[in-house]
Amino acid sequence: MKAKLLSSCVAMALALTATSASAVNFNGYFRSGVGVSTDGKMQTANKQLVGRLGNEDDTYGEIGLGQELYNQDGQVFYVDSMVSMESNGSADNENTRNDDAVFGLRQFNLQAKGFIKASPDAVVWAGKRYYQRHDLHIIDTKYLNISGSGAGVENIKAGDGAFSIAWIRGDADNLEATLPDGQNDLNINYADIRYAGLKPWNGAWGEVAITYAMPNATDAQKDVGGNYDAKNGVMLTAEMSQFFASTNINEKLVLQYANKGLAQNMISQGGGWYDAWHDTSDASGYRAILAGTIPFGEKWAIDHVITYGKADKLEAWHDNTDLFSAVARGQYVWTKNMKTLLEVGTFEQNKEWTSGSVDKSSGQKYTLAQAFTAGIPFLSRPELRIFASYLKDGQNDHAFNSGKDNNTMNFGVQAEAWW
């Protein structure tokens, strides 16, 4: 199956380039490197909570190809595609035969622009896509991410901003052992409505989103009940960004509320996936995120992500869980092509049960890296880094070295690029 998918992707790429090589849009992302720890292979933990710098040991890449297929009288058809590959980087020939590498079809969709006369910039789309994902790069997570196969209309102009409306599918797999394979995946549909481009005052812009998840069980699943009897859930997102021109500081505040199967996103750093594996009929939660970049003159800058979230009744006998996470990555610019990076991260999570017991987890990470880079701005890429990282399990639960140590040191080299 994986070989067939790879062959199809290659055929698709050749077909696109054969049409008109000059018109093909080529884009992508990758990260890869090599690392070792004081306890054998490189040890990683909780990068969405303590930061990703010096805390990734895999190879991951995305290749995107897109092409305009039709353009007449202001009406345009555009096809977009993307395949991905991930591996643990442990072998020379990483292939699908031995499951060393995993290939995926991440995007394949058709977009039509100029077909709505009242809003000529609006785009009607159908297929599979990354749908307007909101990213926090230094912790490698998306706090708003309703992606998958679907259809919608985006960029419908209204006032200073624009509306986007989408219907996207995101099923929950393998819920109940009582049903045979092929019948135990719960169909879940998302209705997503957004308004972006709010400009309440000078230097500020904002967005609001309503995401409504609708589990859609079959008759056989309704007969089983249990987790198949999942309830409709909602996630509300409001964010406001502010650019301070006098200091070049850029800050963003995100506020979110979610209930039912979407509530766990508030304490899992998720972006909208539905938890149908637990009883979430009474679940609710909220989250606040403060993120941005603070420059100090021409040489220094700090990028940060601070998260606090809390959620109740996420499963049977669960009372509440709260999460605090703070990550900051600072850079010192030696030249336009050389930087020193320091990333510090910490988190603490407390999970309380109705019995009164509490499960605690916490951790810290400190990374120092020297980077060869393509420019001064914080997100300049490509970037090649030589790093050393120290990770600590704050609860002394011996999370490293096969359960023997509560801390570890990593050393390695990593490259990252997007285009």
Using the predicted structure, report yes or no on whether residue 307 has a pLDDT greater than 90: yes
Q: Round the average pLDDT of the chain to a whole number and report it.
A: 93
Each residue of 240-250: pLDDT tens digit? 999 999 999 99
Each residue of 138-156: pLDDT tens digit? 999 999 999 999 999 999 9
Q: What is the pLDDT of residue 15?
A: 53
Classify residue 246 as exposed, middle or buried by CB count within 10 Å of its CB (0-12, 13-18, 19+).
exposed
User: Is 2.40.170.10 the CATH number for 2-418?
Assistant: yes
Using the predicted structure, report yes or no on whether residue 359 has a pLDDT greater than 70: yes
Provide, rounded to the nearest whole percent, the portion of the chain with pLDDT above 70.
95
More confident residue, 292 or 182: 292
Q: What is the pLDDT of residue 397?
A: 85
**Domain spans of the chain?**
2-418
Q: Which residues of 274-290 are buried (b: 16+ CB within 10 A; e: fewer)?
A: bbbbbbbeebbbbbebe
Q: What is the pLDDT of residue 11?
A: 53
pTM tops 0.85: yes
Using the predicted structure, report yes or no on whether residue 195 has a pLDDT greater than 80: yes
Mean pLDDT within 183-193: 97
What span, in angstroms and rounded, lies between the C-alpha atoms of 103 and 2? 7
Q: What is the pLDDT of residue 193?
A: 98
Mean pLDDT within 166-186: 93
Using the predicted structure, report yes or no on whether residue 28 has a pLDDT greater than 80: yes
Angle at 168 between CA 163 and CA 174, to 5 degrees: 155
Each residue of 88-112: pLDDT tens digit? 888 888 888 777 889 999 999 999 9
